[in-house]
Amino acid sequence: MKHCIIVKFNPDISMKIENSFIMQIKKLFDECLEIEGIHSVKVFRNCNNMDGRSDIMIQIDMDKSALDAYDKSDAHLMWKAEYGRFIASKSVIDYEEEKPVNPKH
C-alpha cells in the first residue's frame, strides 16, 4: 500500500522552501523505516510554482497492517506537532497498486 500525504504550506513557508527543510522532513519520516511493514519513504517537492499546487508529497510504501503502528509512531506525532502549524492544507490518500493482468496466450 502507498500512503501519500500531500501538503500545501502557509504562503510564507511555501515561498522559501529550501532543500534543508525538505531534508528535515525526510529525516523525520525515515524514522518510520524502523516500523515493521514500512518499506520506503520518499519526499517529493513540487517542481513548479503555478497557483493551486501543493508544495510536497510524502509517499510511504507500507503493508496495510503497518498503518496503525505508523499512526501511533513518534515520527508521525512529531510531524503533526512540529510541522502542523506550517500547513495550510493537507490531503491523505492510501492506495494499492493494481497488479497487471497477464492474459493467457
Q: Give pLDDT tens digits for 37-66.
A: 999 999 999 998 888 899 999 999 999 999
Q: Is the pLDDT of residue 97 over 70?
A: yes
pLDDT category at 100 given cuts 50, 70, 90 is confident
- E strands present in the chain: 2-9, 38-45, 56-62, 87-95
Question: Rounded to the nearest 10 degrees, how much is the dihedral formed by the CA atoms of 66, 67, 71, 72?
Answer: -30
pTM of model > 0.85 = yes
State mean pLDDT over 2-25: 90
- Residues 44, 72 contacting (CB under 8 angstroms): no
Q: For residue 63, which phi and psi values (nearest 5 degrees)?
A: -70, 145
Q: What ranges do the domains of the chain cover? A: 2-95
Q: Higher confidence at residue 62 or residue 16?
A: 62
User: What is the pLDDT at residue 105?
Assistant: 58
What is the CATH architecture of 2-95? 2-Layer Sandwich (3.30)
